[in-house]
Amino acid sequence: MAQLTIQNLHKSFASTTAVDSVNLHVEDGELICLLGPSGSGKSTILRMIGGFEHPTSGAILIDGEDVTRLPPERRPTGMMFQSHALWSHMTVFGNIAFGLKLRRLPKAEIRDKVESALELVGLGGYGTRMTSQLSGGQQQRVALARSLVLEPKILLLDEPFASLDQHLRERLREEVRDIQQRLGITTLFVTHGQDEALAMADRIAVLRDGRIEQIAPADVIYREPQTEFVAGFIGTMN
């Protein structure tokens, strides 16, 4: 379990301000959805927390430790992207074990950890399959197992189900919420789908042009939007 604190985070690319004065505190075990239109800075915030992008200014603290300048592999974060980017020439086991092998864990321990991660995502016994033989939903489950197997303190999910059909997306978001609550893992979940955010989040942060426009529990965002932008954005849900 871990707390995440973001202090006055900025990111500019040439003349574009992608992230503008973002402050955010995420409690132990909380799931926050970053919700906003395309280009509002959601991915850039996540990538900075994961260490894949350097902030122009500001700080990122995990359990009070400043990780702003640490490389991704030295941060206690696990990140899953929209495109799962599994290695298709490897088995499911190989994909999930990769990070554990880099850490030079003993073989038996790697086997145990990979199998528990697979069971957690409902793919027990799938280790010897090639990832190219799996369905889209199964591949996203493998990607999730790969981010969980390193036992991150903070889980970062960037529109993980965007490429899947509606039915599968709804199922997977329930599974992720269930796993997240069982592990008690502090999570940031990026989506541009209002229904997804309302269904999953402890709190929703609505983003606009790199700023947090409102942050509140889902029902408060829904009933008491603070700005017209938030009202309009949530209102587009049917």
Residues in the site for ligand ADP, rule: CB under 6 A? 13, 16, 18, 36, 38-44
Binding region for Mg ion (CB under 5 A) out of 39-47, 116-124, 137-145, 224-232: 39-47
Query: Of ligand ADP, Mg ion, none, which one does residue 51 interact with (CB within 5 to 8 Å by kind)?
Result: none
Binding region for Mg ion (CB under 5 A) out of 3-11, 37-45, 89-97, 230-238: 37-45
Residue 181 gets the label, from left (phi > 0), alpha (psi -120 to 50) or beta, of alpha
What are the C-alpha distances in Å from 163 to residues 99, 117, 231?
25, 23, 27
Shortest distance in whole angstroms from residue 52 CB to ligand ADP:
10
Identity of residue 14: A
Shortest distance in whole angstroms from residue 13 CB to ligand ADP:
3
Residue appearing with tokens 């938030």: 230
Query: Of ligand ADP, Mg ion, none, which one does residue 13 interact with (CB within 5 to 8 Å by kind)?
Result: ligand ADP
CA-to-CA distance for 8 and 136, rounded, in angstroms?
37
Pairing of strands 154-158, 186-191: parallel
Shortest distance in whole angstroms from residue 137 CB to ligand ADP:
22
Phi, psi (deg, nearest 5) at residue 191: -155, 155
Query: Of Mg ion, ligand ADP, none, which one does residue 236 interact with (CB within 5 to 8 Å by kind)?
Result: none
Give the containing element (helix H, strand E) for 207.
strand 203-208
Query: Of Mg ion, ligand ADP, none, which one does residue 86 interact with (CB within 5 to 8 Å by kind)?
Result: none
End-to-end CA distance of the chain: 35
Told to check if 147 binds Mg ion by CB under 5 A, we report no
Query: Of Mg ion, ligand ADP, none, which one does residue 41 interact with (CB within 5 to 8 Å by kind)?
Result: ligand ADP
Tokens representing 202? 């402890």
Q: Based on CB atoms, which residue is closest to ligand ADP, 44 or 186?
A: 44
Helices (H) and strands (E) in the chain, counts: 8, 10
Told to check if 43 binds Mg ion by CB under 5 A, we report yes
Q: Based on CB atoms, which residue is closest to ligand ADP, 45 or 216?
A: 45
